[in-house]
Every structure is written in C-alpha cells, then in structure tokens.
Amino acid sequence: MCVCIPFPQGTTSSVHLATLPACHSLLTHHTPQHFPFLAKPSNRRLRTKLHAALARLVFQQPPDSLEVGFSTFMAPVASVLNDLAAVPTAQLSSDARCREALQGVLRDVRGITEAASTRKTYLLLFESLHPNPLLLFARAAEAYAPRDPDLCSLLFKCMTEIGSNRSQRAVFGNSSANGYLLFRAVSSAVGAFGNAVVSSSPTSSSSSSTSTSSVVGIESAASHSSSTPTPGGSGGDLYRNTFKPRATCLACVREVLTGGYVNFGVLQLYGDPCLSVMLDTCLGLLLSVSTEHVLAYPKLAKPYFAVLEALFASHLPFLAAKDRTTFSKLLEVNRESEFDEALLCSALVFSSVC
C-alpha cells in the first residue's frame, strides 16, 4: 500500500495506470469485503489513502466518461451512506455495526474529497453527497457527541475536507445555490455537536435560558483539570476525549467561514438561521476552552486562533454585540499566548486583525 499509493499522484503515471485492467477492477472493488485487511483497526487509516489514490485514477478519465466512471466508483460508498441515512438516529447511536460502517465510510469520503482538486471533480463529489449523506453527518454529530470523541473527530475531519475551498474548487457560480447548501449542511452538524455538548454540560440545566455562546461546557471543560495539563498520559486522554473533537469542529468552522462560496448578507436578508447557529456554537466552543488548555495543546491552539481571526475579520458586529466578559475572554488568550513562542505566530495574525 505505502509503495503503490504515491503512483497516482503524478499525471503521467496516473494516466498509464488508468489504462490497466487491474486498475479498472480496483475502481469497482475497493470495499473491505474485497480488501479484508482494511477492516482491521490498525489498518483503518489506510482507507483514506487508498480511496484518495483510486479517486485520482478516476479523475484522470476522459471528460466524456468521467461522470459515468465516477458514479460507478462511488456506488459502493453511496450504498453505505444511503443505508446509514435510512437508520433511525436512536439506532445509529446504539448499534455497533452502524458505528463501524460510519467510521469506515467517513474515511473513504475524506480520501475521495482530497483527490477532488478541480471544480468539475468537486462538483461531481458534492452532487453525490447532497442531500442525504450530508444530512446523515448532522445526525451523526447529534448521535455521537460527546460520548464518542473519536468518531466526532473523524466526522469533522471529513467535513473540514468537504468544506475546504482550496484551489477555488468549491466556487459554484453566482446562480448556483450549492455553496449555501454546503454551508447549511455544515452548520447543521456544528449546531448538533454544540447542542449535544451543552446538554451534557453540568451547567446546561441551570442556564437553559442563556444563549449557546455562554454555556457550551465552560465549567465542564475547566473541571477536567485544575492545573495546566501535560500532553501525554492523562493529559493526552484529556485532549483526545475533550478537546480534540472541539478542535476539529473549529477547524471545520474556519474552512466554511473563509471558503468564499457564501454571501453571508444573503443569509441574513432571507432570515436563514444557519449563520447565527454556526457563529453562536463556534463562540461557545471558544469560550469552553480555558486559556491554560489553549496554551498546553498546539493542535487545539491552531484552529482556535484561526477561528478567532475569521470572526474578527468578517463578523465583528456579532462579537461587538456580546457582553464585556465574553469579549475580554477572547482577548485574554491572545495576551497570554504572547509569552509562548510556539503560539506567538498564530497570536500575531489574530492581533493584526484586531
């Protein structure tokens, strides 16, 4: 696998590989039923790499056969997604087989999305994921957060890749609503995750009348550790179980807020709540992390400051409408990070926006 996966990354080699009968067979037989080693827990990460490599081969097909070839390639993945979409939310969260299938298909979709580097290939992918699979992701966030941090992290890594507009691949055109549909789907998943975190917080019952931005697990997150954690050991468990899902969710939020495929004024004009849901949930996640935890985990600090930058750059009226305590909390992290050389670069970017 490690030897063969890099071959499709080159244009010349991928064109030659696409003509081989063995590769044609791989493009229609790439599930764990055909490759049993992919079902082993130690090999699950290879599913992302395998599907990224196979998708590159698919995208090298001639334009006149690309759509049919991609549809054939996606058929096994789409079948799993549609089966999971038909499962009730209660069963989705309790059935171990559903969890295993969802975990695998998220890795598959993430790999395929990585390979969709052009507008045409990304459009083919988006049309295969909308609407049912994207709605499934929102239901999965609601079903598994916060009791299954590993699956939530995997879910938002996949959605981060889907929401990424690198190389302007997600520019659909002024007359297309696809950008808004994508943003709404991500907002639904982020909102479901935030609501689940709120409902599991000890303070949620006593603060149910307050906004999401003020209650998303602030005391809950702080109570996990009374002192500055140390990565590894119990600190590593704290990051994996508590902060990693929030970090991946923030990374996903940052991608869609800065993607450039949504005119936020249109959402406000038509009263679409998806923007306010995302901003409220995002701010709540930021406030749920104490300053010492941000400084202790660089993998958490990177999306943390990236989201702050996006909020202060394009959504300053939203922040200005908040109370003084909320605003001061956001600036406090930036002030403390100036004493940390590893975080200074990220903090300086945020400071320049302020």
Q: Decide if 141 is inside a domain.
A: no
Q: Which pLDDT belongs to residue 215?
A: 36
User: What range defines the domain where residue 247 resides?
Assistant: 156-164+181-203+211-354
**Nearest CA-CA partner of 144 in 135, 157, 132, 153:** 153
Rounded Cα distance between 351 and 313, Å, is 11
Q: Which residue has the tokens 């709605």?
A: 135
One domain, residues 106 and 219: no
Of 317, 311, 321, 284, which is closest to residue 207 (Cα–Cα)?
284
Return per-residue pLDDT of the chain as tens, 354 residues: 665 667 666 667 777 777 788 888 888 889 888 888 888 888 888 899 999 989 988 988 888 999 999 999 999 999 999 999 999 998 998 999 999 999 999 999 999 999 999 999 999 999 999 999 999 999 999 999 989 999 999 999 999 999 999 999 999 988 899 999 999 999 999 999 998 887 776 544 444 333 433 333 433 444 444 344 544 445 568 999 999 999 999 999 999 999 999 999 999 899 999 999 999 999 999 998 888 898 889 899 899 989 999 998 999 999 989 999 988 888 887 777 665 555 555 555 555 555
Using alpha carbons, select from 295, 246, 11 the residue that is nearest to residue 141: 246
Per-residue confidence (pLDDT) for residue 188, from 0 to 100: 96
Q: Is residue 138 part of a domain?
A: no
Say what the pLDDT of residue 229 is. 53
DSSP string, 22-74: HHHHHHH--STTT-GGGGSGGGTTHHHHHHHHHHHHHTTS-HHHHHHHHHHHH
How much is the pLDDT for 346? 54
* 97 and 197 part of one domain: no
Examine residue 133 and say whether the peptide bond preceding it is cis (omega within 30 degrees of 0): no
Is residue 182 a contact partner of residue 256, using CB atoms and an 8 Å limit? Answer: yes
Domain count, the chain: 2
Can you give the length of the chain in residues? 354
Which pLDDT value is given to residue 230? Answer: 47
Whether residue 47 is found in the same domain as residue 195: no
Q: Are residues 189 and 313 in the same domain?
A: yes
Q: pTM for the complete prediction?
A: 0.87
Whether residues 262 and 298 fall in one domain:
yes
In terms of Cα–Cα distance, which of 99, 89, 96 is closest to 139? 89
Say which residue the tokens 């926006």 belong to: 353
**Residue 14 has what pLDDT?**
72
169 falls within a domain: no
Query: Are residues 198 and 299 located together in one domain of the fold?
Result: yes
